[in-house]
Chain A
């Protein structure tokens, strides 16, 4: 009985992992395909990689996306850390409930609504104040910072509320001013949350198609926008090559994170 049960469990879980990885593996394998037809295997080749790097449209868009993701993640981390700190360490203040609502709302907001509402805001602002004049990289950065801010704030807030306040209190008792308290005590303590918040923001920004499509201007297509317009017409081997590179980078990052975690665990164990 027990054995049959675990056989069923193992089979269905394995199928689940196959389901998760089969498309990714197929994508990677076919990025090395010599044949122009995506479904016909014509031997190994790196031609789609060279085609990818020679595709100026994709390269320009990738560079734009990286810039946007870098700046947005940084802005989101600064504002999100402040917001998370304000919510968990600043006590009561008028409007706290509203702020905590605004922090969590972007997490459940459909992207189409966020995109549309920000675009309409930018258009209305341009009509009233003359700023932002036109739409482009600046408006994409503002939009991405806004929705990433929420993720950072939630991560920082949960880290702060799980954390003992005694270190901060001790620093205060020893006469630390609020400014130095924050930068010398609180910030180092929450740095893991800040780093994961930055990485998450960077990924979310790099990946966003819907919001960027609404708020970007002509000639400012991000990488997902270019990919989307290409794959709408069908499967293209160049995109397979691009996907393989991106998956490779992420896999390296995940392996690095596990390695780091193991090392930390070992250090903790040796201290104990």
Chain B
């Protein structure tokens, strides 16, 4: 995209008289407010208000009724008096039971380790694409993008056939006599790592490619002429220039991986702890809506808010 950067900063008053008139008109019209309020109202109702509802229900008690939670306001018809009943028990339980803390930490660990391995797999791919001729480049880039457009669920499923006990990897290793007994790979943390690396690989390759493509190749040539060894050149020249791409790619992988449900559910074992799965089970298996809401509220504060704050810093803005 080589379009020239617009000099008209949004919100800045244009200098010409005509422009000023249009500016004023733009600010007055009813049409303008309709246009602004339509998406705003939609997001307010279907994106913002739901969080308030989640917070409210996290303070309720689970009941056996439809819907399965108590109301916070109790109306006493004889006294014409309403009492507010807040139940902090869900939050206390979250902090008392080590299970939830472990689930939070384990999600962060699994997401971080997978992000690191995704980076390791993606880097050579991105480097190769950035250094290849323009015709091969288009082909290789589309090879990376193609899986991204195919079903996420089916890509995770593809690994089930690969990793299971009588799956392709075990068959392959046994035929070549590398192992005697089939390895247990499905329903382990290892399978979850593979699943995350696999499904989020395009998210890492693309920003890395963008950064590496912009890299000044003459720097590398100069370093070689001056006798820099390949490894030295890589760490001192290539890697620093790829940093914006690394940050962007890592955030794009880590953020969805942390709240992942499908991958631990299909590839992970019963002992694979991830907070997205905990929330899901709390809701669908235990049918404890208030507890699920409390987990969601804490997740929002502990995981999502820091991510949004990072995004608002300078490097974060560059990254997205």
**A191 — which chain B residues lie within 8 A by C-beta?**
none
Is B307 a contact of A116 with CB atoms below 8 Å?
no
Kindly provide the distance from the CB of B233 to the nearest chain A CB, expressed in whole angstroms: 9
A23 touches B153 (CB 8 A): no
Question: Which residues of B are found within 8 Å of A146, using beta-carbon distances?
Answer: 42-43, 46-47
Q: Is A82 in contact with B255, judged by CB distance below 8 angstroms?
A: no
How far, in whole Å, are A123 and B49 apart by their CA atoms in the complex?
13
Q: Please, which residues of chain A bring their CB within 8 A of the CB of B145?
A: 254
One of A20, A105, A214 near B308 (C-beta < 8 A): A105
A102 CA to B51 CA in the complex, in Å?
12
Closest to B29 in A: A178
CB-CB under 8 A for A9 and B128, given A79-B39, A227-B154: yes
A35 at the interface (CB under 8 A from B): no
Docked Cα-Cα span, A254 to B51, in Å, equals 38
Residue from the list B48, B147, B279 in contact with A112, Cβ < 8 A: B279
| A117 and chain B: residue at smallest CB distance | B50
Chain A, range 196-212, C-beta contacts under 8 Å to B: 203, 206-207, 209-210
Chain A interface size, as a band, is 35 or more
**Cβ contact of A13, chosen from B23, B125, B166, B262, cutoff 8 A:** B125
Judge whether B168 and A39 touch: CB under 8 Å: yes
Number of interface residues of B (CB under 8 A): 100
B304, A108: Cβ atoms closer than 8 Å: yes
Q: Which residues of A contact B80 (CB under 8 A)?
A: none
| B159 is an interface residue with CB less than 8 A from chain A | yes
Chain B interface (Cβ within 8 Å of chain A)?
Answer: 1, 3-6, 8, 10-12, 18-19, 22-23, 26-27, 29, 31-32, 35-36, 38-40, 42-44, 46-51, 53-54, 57, 67, 121-122, 124-125, 127-128, 138-140, 142-147, 149-155, 157-162, 164, 166-168, 171, 198, 201, 224, 229-230, 255-256, 258-262, 265-266, 276, 279-280, 283-284, 289, 292-293, 296, 299-300, 303-304, 307-308, 311, 320
A sample of 29 cross-chain residue pairs with beta-carbon separation below 8 angstroms, ordered by A number, consists of: A1-B229, A2-B224, A2-B230, A9-B128, A21-B143, A23-B155, A27-B154, A79-B39, A91-B23, A102-B48, A108-B308, A110-B303, A112-B259, A113-B279, A120-B53, A121-B53, A149-B43, A164-B3, A178-B26, A210-B262, A214-B283, A224-B153, A227-B157, A243-B150, A243-B157, A246-B151, A250-B146, A250-B150, A261-B138
Closest 3 CB pairs of A and B: A110-B259, A117-B50, A23-B158
